[in-house]
Chains A and B, each alone.
Chain A
Amino acid sequence: MTQAQETVFEQDTVDKARAIMARYPQARSALLPMLHLVQSVEGYVSQAGIRFCAGQLDLTEAEVSAVATFYTMYKRRPCGEHLVSVCTNTLCAALGGDAIYAKLKDHLKVGHEETAGEPGTPGSITLEHAECLAACDLGPVLQVNYEFYDNQTPDTALELVKALQNGEKPAPTRGAPLTDFKQAELQLAGFFEGRDADLDGPSAAAETLRGARLAQEKGWDAPAMPENAEFPPIPEKK
């Protein structure tokens, strides 16, 4: 067991785990990012990953398991190269999200949190239906490795997934150029070194800017601010 753990999590991961712990006033706060970190190594949270986190944070494995099993983003089985998450919450579903999910399920011949292809190999895809992804004005949405593909239809989604299977990486509507699930997890753990270019990935869809642009067109603005708004006096202590 100890041997296996050592081979899975190398010094680099240990260093990163320690770096996460150093971000917080109390080390245990590092657990969620650290679980993202182990997921970036193995493509899921394995028992070895739980043991690793427990060891780093001086927790019991039960305590780490309690946390790891609570959150949906921690996967219990190895994921594919890409994780495709289709929003099937009410609004997206009404706009076509359910149909998208059904189409992808059909095509990949997998169910929720199942993987088409050998996990981790190029073109392998883990499919899931997701709850609201906070992009409702752009629905139906789906995500690949947590980058947004907005205003999807069953056909565009199918095309996207086929491209992924072929090793292509179509750019997201909003987000950075696509990498893979493990790389995304590393970033969720807070490690962005050498990825500055990602920042310029698009973010503002037409929908996002609708109000602001309409206001510009119409010349509507918030009331003008006074030249020098003063602070109220220091309130007296009660």
Chain B
Amino acid sequence: MANPLTPVLTKRWTEPRSWTIETYERTDGYTALRKALKAHPDQLIQQCKDSGLRGRGGAGFPTGMKWGFIPQGDGKPHYLVINADEGEPGTCKDIPLMMADPHSLIEGIIITSYAIRANFAAIYVRGEVLHCIRRLNAAVREAYAKGYLGRNILDSGFDLDVVVHAGAGAYICGEETALLDSLEGRRGQPRLKPPFPATAGLYAAPTVVNNVETIASVPFIVNGGADWFREMGRERSPGPKIFSLSGHVTRPGQYEAPMGTTLRELLDMAGGMKDGIPLKFWTPGGSSTPLFTAEHLDVPLDFEGAAEAGSMLGTTALQIFNETVSVPWAVMKWTEFYKHESCGKCTPCREGTYWLVQILQRMVRGEGTAGDIDTLLDVCDNILGRSFCALGDGAVSPITSGIKYFKDEFLALCDQNSKALAGANA
């Protein structure tokens, strides 16, 4: 049984000047790379598969399998693209990771690129995090200077170039195909799948798109092995995971614990609810994952556990709200976010979020009716699973889960309205 906290990715963060290559090398940095470059690329893919590592960007797709989809010997260039477009409300793990320990990501990139036979990798970072971009750029320069990047890396014959690419403010670019279009200098709108990025990704060539936390885990798996990785977490969701606690907790912050840790356990470590005001609702993995309530304190937070309890693990961004927060208001705010970030490509998401926001705003103003709740749910039903990409699905999560657990609060807003109407009629 692993400890309550298992700092792996976050361990180096406490080092002085943790972001420099000197610190990194002093703390076993780039040892995994030396080891990996001596292995056959397919061994690395197999090891990743064996480790059970699943994508940390939200969807939880098995990473080794994704690498294995890249056709080999196809004569095309291959690419690795790091999705560092962290923008899901509540999610705040990748940015601190890249600021504190950029080299773990870069080492992971080199190993992964070697495994999938890519000679160009891009780190697509959202543009609003300048300090992070600064640190990444410096780390890439350091890695080039030390021969970890560029031609004939560590005399292995392997070449790799890495570019740090700043986004420009669009949540949808966290969707991997939108990210690829954006990286190609286009509007960040999702692409049709198939073809999937593994066959036609960046510049229509085979491409792996992975999240920061996923790739930063790779050097540790190479050094520790698949079995070591599986000592943490649960059978189908192994490994450590950075849980980001935010909101009404005493000590919000980043807690790296084994997959399957519960909010109750995390809250204990974080000093409980702030000022003792009871928990009302929380997101297990960002605003696109359906809300949980105090009922769900003991749900094991891994991919299966969250799903079985009716939500999703997402990015383990635990936004914690106490009893002072109005659910319809919170849902309205999130819906405003989705409306703002909808890319506009497909009808359900573009028009649906436009409509939902107006209904919710009206309800929060106290001008709603009980019928509005039915309309909300039906419009959500017409968006969920009908939109082009998952943004539409995410957009309806707060609404449907908010109404599921807190319908009374929505009805209460309408009650005010009927009273006002009654008064007006009198």
B positions within 8 Å CB-CB of A: 2-8, 10-11, 13-14, 17-19, 39-40, 42-47, 50, 77, 86-92, 94-96, 99-100, 120, 126-131, 133-135, 137-138, 163-171, 182-188, 203, 220, 222-228, 231-232, 240, 242-248, 251-257, 269-270, 287, 317, 319, 321, 325, 330, 333-334, 337, 340-341, 343
Bound Cα distance from A221 to B126, whole angstroms? 31
Tell which of A23, A32, A88, A192 touches B182, judged by Cβ atoms closer than 8 Å: A32
Bound Cα distance from A192 to B223, whole angstroms? 33
Cβ of B257: which chain A residues have Cβ within 8 Å of it? 211
Q: Is the CB of A226 within 8 A of B134?
A: no
Interface size class on chain A is 35 or more
A positions within 8 Å CB-CB of B: 23-26, 28-33, 35-36, 57, 66-67, 70-74, 85, 88-91, 93-95, 130-139, 143, 145-148, 172, 174-176, 184, 187-190, 192, 195-196, 198-201, 203-204, 206-216, 218, 220-223, 225-226, 229-235
Q: Is the CB of A223 within 8 A of B96?
A: no
Q: Is the CB of A212 within 8 A of B2?
A: no
Closest 8 pairs (CB-CB, A-B): A229-B225, A210-B253, A31-B185, A211-B255, A71-B168, A72-B169, A136-B246, A73-B169
A159 CB, min distance to chain B CBs, angstroms: 22
Q: Is the CB of A131 within 8 A of B10?
A: no
State the total of A-B contacts with C-beta under 8 angstroms: 293
Q: Is the CB of A225 within 8 A of B225?
A: yes
Bound Cα distance from A209 to B96, whole angstroms? 9
Bound Cα distance from A190 to B227, whole angstroms? 40
Cβ of A214: which chain B residues have Cβ within 8 Å of it? 5, 255, 269
Tell which of A89, A137, A175, A223 touches B231, judged by Cβ atoms closer than 8 Å: A223
Q: A73-B169, A203-B99, A225-B223 are in contact. Are A147 and B6 (CB under 8 A)?
A: no
Q: Decide if the interface of chain B is mainly helix, strand, loop or mixed.
A: mixed
B84 CB, min distance to chain A CBs, angstroms: 10
Q: A90-B330, A188-B130 are in contact. Are A210 and B99 (CB under 8 A)?
A: no
Q: A190-B137, A208-B253 are in contact. Are A33 and B99 (CB under 8 A)?
A: no
Q: Is the CB of A25 within 8 A of B77?
A: yes
Q: Is the CB of B14 within 8 A of A71?
A: no
Q: Could you give 5 example pairs across A and B, Cβ below 8 Å?
A: A35-B168, A57-B185, A207-B253, A220-B5, A225-B224
Q: Is the CB of A28 within 8 A of B2?
A: no
Bound Cα distance from A139 to B249, whole angstroms? 12
Q: Is the CB of B130 within 8 A of A211?
A: no
A37 CB, min distance to chain B CBs, angstroms: 11
Bound Cα distance from A51 to B94, whole angstroms? 35
Q: Is the CB of A210 within 8 A of B231?
A: no
A208 CB, min distance to chain B CBs, angstroms: 5
Q: A131-B171, A148-B131 are in contact. Are A136 and B90 (CB under 8 A)?
A: yes
Q: A71-B170, A146-B130, A220-B6 are in contact. Are A204 and B287 (CB under 8 A)?
A: no
